């Protein structure tokens, strides 16, 4: 193991954090809630955090597995169509049929923004953290994100009318720049250090990934405690709804894709249930009603608790324990807890 001199202690600290696995994801949310001033400090860096998460995902992807999925694209195309077209269409139709669009337009706006969003850019990292097929998640994430500049404004206009104004051109350019930039940075890192070194330093990379997740969590949860004190029952109701949406998307996706294999279905279910509402928040420049903002905040609970909530099910799907090195998906897995 080479000596990193003055970087030795930071790398050890990141390794320790990375080896905490899913417990660190829960701790991120708890610290973000407990220390609200951190949210004001991290808010300007949310976009940077999203970009870095995607860079890490591209950096760690198994190119051979990527090519294998692209040679048989049916699963990727089906998952992309489901998460990008079917989910927002069904969500918008259900809210219109139930009358939620007129009963609570602010909540409808929140749910439609959630439904039209692409999967979270942290989804491949979380899939890798749980030992699932992160390459499949990453490919579907890229294809879904590429379509969102076209689909999100269309569904928003169809189901929200003039309540929300989205610029397809501006959103498309932003998404293209983020994806192209992340690919370029990841390729440069892989070329400079090599995939072997990246895999060897799995633990500190996992730790750095957790720190990046904290930036977004602290920004979105900055006013959580104040809102909870002001309207506890309203917040509780939004929390129940957020978990219900999470498990509904997860369960429906697993059932739809069960023929692809249980672990792949679980990976896709996790991806579809974790929506990139931060990106939609950036697209609207934060100009959303209070209830919409509160629902976004409450949705962070199922997102950050997902590894803990899903770990028992993942372990049942994978009876044989993983080694501390690579998974059979070619990605770097966390050390067992």
pLDDT in tens, 290-336: 778 788 888 888 887 877 777 777 777 664 544 444 443 434 333 33
Closest CA to 173 of 149, 153, 155, 154: 149
- Separation CA 295–CA 239 (nearest Å): 8
Q: Identify the CATH number of the domain in which residue 306 sits.
A: 1.20.1530.20
HEC secondary structure over 245-306: HHHHHHHHHHHHCHHHCHHHHHHHHHHHHCECHHHHHHHCCCCCCHHHHHHHHHCHHHHHHH
DSSP helix/strand/coil, 120: coil
In a domain, 10, yes or no: no
In which residue ranges of the chain is pLDDT below 70?
A: 1-7, 21-22, 161-172, 175, 282-287, 317-337
Give the residue numbers spanning the domain of 105. 19-317
Any domain includes 8: no
Query: Which pLDDT does position 172 carry in this prediction?
Result: 61
Q: What's the structural domain count of the chain?
A: 1
Which pLDDT score, from 0 to 100, does residue 164 have? Answer: 58
* pLDDT reported for residue 49: 82
Which pLDDT score, from 0 to 100, does residue 32 have? 86
| Other Cβ atoms closer than 10 A to 165 | 11
Looking at the domain assignment, is residue 168 inside a domain?
yes
Distance in angstroms (rounded) separating the CA atoms of residues 200 and 209: 16
Identify the pLDDT of residue 41: 87
pLDDT at 82: 96
Asked, for residue 134, whether it belongs to a domain, the answer is yes
Is 38 domain-assigned? yes
Kindly state whether residue 4 falls inside one of the protein's structural domains: no
Q: Give me the pLDDT at residue 132, please.
A: 79
Q: Is 119 helix (H, G, I), strand (E, B) or coil?
A: strand
């Amino acid at each position: 193991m080479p000596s990193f001199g003055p970087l030795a202690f930071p790398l050890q600290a990141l390794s320790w954090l990375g080896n905490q696995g899913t417990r660190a994801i829960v701790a991120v949310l708890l610290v973000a809630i407990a220390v609200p001033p951190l949210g004001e400090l991290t808010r300007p860096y949310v976009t940077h955090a999203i970009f870095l998460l995607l860079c890490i995902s591209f950096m760690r992807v198994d190119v051979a597995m990527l090519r294998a999925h692209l040679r048989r694209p049916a699963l990727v195309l089906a998952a992309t169509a489901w998460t990008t077209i079917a989910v927002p269409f069904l969500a918008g139709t259900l809210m219109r049929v139930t009358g939620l669009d007129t009963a609570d337009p602010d909540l409808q706006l929140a749910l439609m923004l959630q439904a039209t969003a692409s999967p979270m850019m942290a989804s491949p990292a979380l899939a890798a953290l749980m030992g699932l097929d992160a390459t499949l998640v990453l490919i579907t994430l890229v294809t879904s994100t590429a379509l969102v500049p076209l689909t999100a404004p269309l569904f928003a206009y169809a189901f929200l009318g003039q309540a929300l104004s989205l610029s397809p051109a501006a959103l498309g350019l932003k998404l293209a720049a983020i994806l192209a930039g992340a690919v370029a940075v990841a390729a440069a890192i892989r070329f400079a250090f090599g995939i072997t070194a990246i895999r060897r330093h799995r633990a500190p990379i996992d730790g750095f990934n957790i720190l990046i997740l904290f930036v977004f969590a602290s920004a979105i949860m900055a006013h959580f405690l104040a809102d909870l004190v002001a309207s506890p029952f309203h917040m509780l109701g939004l929390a129940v709804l957020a978990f219900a949406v999470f498990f509904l998307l997860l369960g429906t996706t697993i059932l739809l894709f069960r023929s692809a294999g249980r672990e792949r279905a679980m990976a896709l279910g996790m991806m579809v249930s974790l929506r990139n509402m931060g990106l939609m928040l950036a697209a609207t420049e934060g100009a959303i009603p209070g209830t919409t903002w509160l629902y976004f905040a409450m949705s962070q609970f199922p997102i950050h608790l997902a590894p803990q909530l899903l770990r028992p099910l993942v372990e049942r799907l994978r009876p044989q324990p993983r080694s501390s090195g690579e998974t059979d998906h070619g990605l770097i897995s966390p050390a067992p807890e």
